[in-house]
Structure 1
């Protein structure tokens, strides 16, 4: 880039898209250390500042789309109005006496500068710590030293203190040092968009005085500490050097965000802090272990919080007393994590433990997120399943509350659930055996959903429960659908990220349209199925043919407005009898609701004959040309 628009060599945008880091390099490319004059440091810093000014101005209009830096300029320009701070890192392979550059304001954005010469980089690497020293004087920051409770000194190569830090002090620390405070935090800050962080922010805004009770606080380390005694004799922390927050990055950054962005009063927020002051020479060992222990507790998932819901308690009871046909075994619903192993451990002898494993094998264990996966796939929501276990479970739980209210499963519902589990797991195995290069999880849920969709939700779940498996005919049919489903998913993505595309309703719409082979003689699960609560009405003898399923699929290729137009125009032009127009009108309603209900084989047969009328075909073609 020309001199007028400045110079940078790299950039990074913060998770919340309100902070920016720019890198500008002074490269000498020599074996010997070269002295870099302070004027060169200032010049490079100024070039970066000029670039930022242009990027936040009209530079994007002057940059050619094909230029290598066009994307960088465009992304930085998009931060206009949201950017609250920027940091310029001046990096050189030389040595400079200039350690600081005076901060600037660029278009209302405070910009600070960090100088990284060879000596500073060497010190950081030699110390094994990816941070510069951070010195904090609490007497200045808080107006007074912070009272603390020292722990007795042991042979652990560190001293420990417990203190309560005011929320505004923590926010100011993060505002000044940012990610430098968290460089030993293995997870850093996962962004306040997450549900846990959203909960922290809600408490900060609405119940700040309860924050101490609700939050676990932070774990921090320091290289040294200065203590003093308060007037009442209590010990207090006056200052620390080399402060690092090892655990509690989400807490720290959430408090800062509430203070800076939400304008919340965090002065009344109190944060518990455990501070370990580590002896010289033991920093890496102790910090590594503190970080490891602070971040390796069993993770508590959101699904765990619903373990005591009556629905899940009832489902657990059903899994303990309902045995598979022949009383030879049962499935095991693990309502709370670890229940399976606990139940097995209750068997007092090795023989009884073997019997437990034979009757309740690990392969028949399933958990709350599995239930959500099976149910949402059955209910034709594979795009929701593709969001992952926790988000899919949240959707399932919410849907259960809204649609079912105080619904409690009974034995019939439980048997159907196990049949769905068998079907889903079979789809997973078929996809796994097909050795797809990618997207196996996504294809599995779409494969099962397509089968449910094409069958009109008429699969013989009772037969699957009784057999505790699928017929070889259905397994073969599903195997023949794997490649068409994969092709539908990847081709409809049209160059987009396929994993993200699978989370969209449009992906499911594309898969629903795919042509898949259908044998003349249907598998038993399809030919003898009875409609479930979400399915269509049955024929007189409860049977369904391959032609019926193809007719149902053909009906579902048209959208609601098209079926409504067929009904209205067909009636107006005298093409359809009143009852035929009524069928078209009914299908428009099914389509409008996302085909939550499927046409019966009889309805589908009449509808396909209507679709084949030349005038109706012309109408359908007109609608397709018009587009959405």
Structure 2
């Protein structure tokens, strides 16, 4: 797939999403699709769409499309999406890009002085504006992202400080998103030419014992080189089987940042380093088992994503990395046999201090493999030849689309596997955890919820998939999507994701007999009676979550607590037996 095809696919998807009623306008559909890619690829987590635009005056113009608030790191992410209404790729001018950044900053400044008081409570950005006003003292960093289906060939503005708040900027144009998404499913081997590309090499000592399965090397890598490699290749370096759990977030880890800034010479002593794998290397033999590695083929970072991403951000923020060196372990896998299992074990034991289990590394988990097989052979009961496409690994849909050799075959593939029928494994886990009445876990975010779900799979508490289970899972995805639209149409304001999760969980608790999954599968929709039930429960849920026990409690954090779910049940007259929540998992 080339960039023009990707651009055309996004435009077509936006048209379909709008016509299907998922979004009110095509512009909102574009916002949802582009922001969805960034969330799926873990560029930003727990995104909430909050479109707002005021363009009646140049000096008063404001715009924001989505946001995410990381309370732990006191970081507010504000995204603005610029949709270029053109069938062909166009470039955005520097002036237009800077204007978009200014509109977001103006929204933030006006929100700080109480703009929400003049807004309608049903406005999609009302709660965002209110949250900024009420929690401005707790926000230390505002990250502004310009996202577009245009090509933006400019550098973002430099970081700046305003009233003790750090402002940083980033640009995600269609080319960068295409590379981010496209590399996920790329079958091409990542080759890092250290000597030619980075004027560097890595001195490493080889494990003396010979083993038929692998060779192992240990050494140290210049921090600046690692940062530059990650800056260029990004998530492509992360083995997709485990990338979701490395949590290589964009924010600079405070400890790493402080060490790089204040004690760079101590980084080697303080940091545990990175564990990596490769298919083969090019190296010069030195002596006594020491080699100088100058090329890495099929190189993947399986542990140390946070270290790597944090150094990359330190590099982008112009911190001096000349004295920073990173411990590195390199494992060369000599055979493809059991390759994925070995990589998963390397990650598991390297991460043992973080309680990461084998169930985390799930792409090749038998449960996930069987779900994929069922999705490929199970067709929707309709006159059209259509099926749901289950992604057990990131980027599978694009990989399969790219494998179609002609334009005609690509068209057939898309008609049989509409983009609206793609089910990611995190979406499936979210829907199933709602049915298992764990909305507080779902509210902790896609990745945390997915880990919990796979722990239940690993413990045998989730049935091994068969055709009936698969169809019921799809029915629950349809139910989830329909509930999402119902809540959006009710215009309750923000916290839509929380309301949807709690509404479905409450429906299962109070009215499970009204949820006929076989009927939903057969109809590929829910009936009017169930729709009215969801509307009623959604209003009750909204009233509940916006009235926590302690007035002034952050609603998003409140929804992550099992106490919130138990109180909702009590308010419905249901006796709650026990509390299972592990406070350490709340995030």
Higher relative contact order (CA 8 A, sep 6+): 2
- Look at both structures and tell me which one has the larger radius of gyration over its CA atoms: 1
Q: What is the TM-score with the length of structure 1 in the denominator? A: 0.39
Q: What is the TM-score with the length of structure 2 in the denominator? A: 0.41
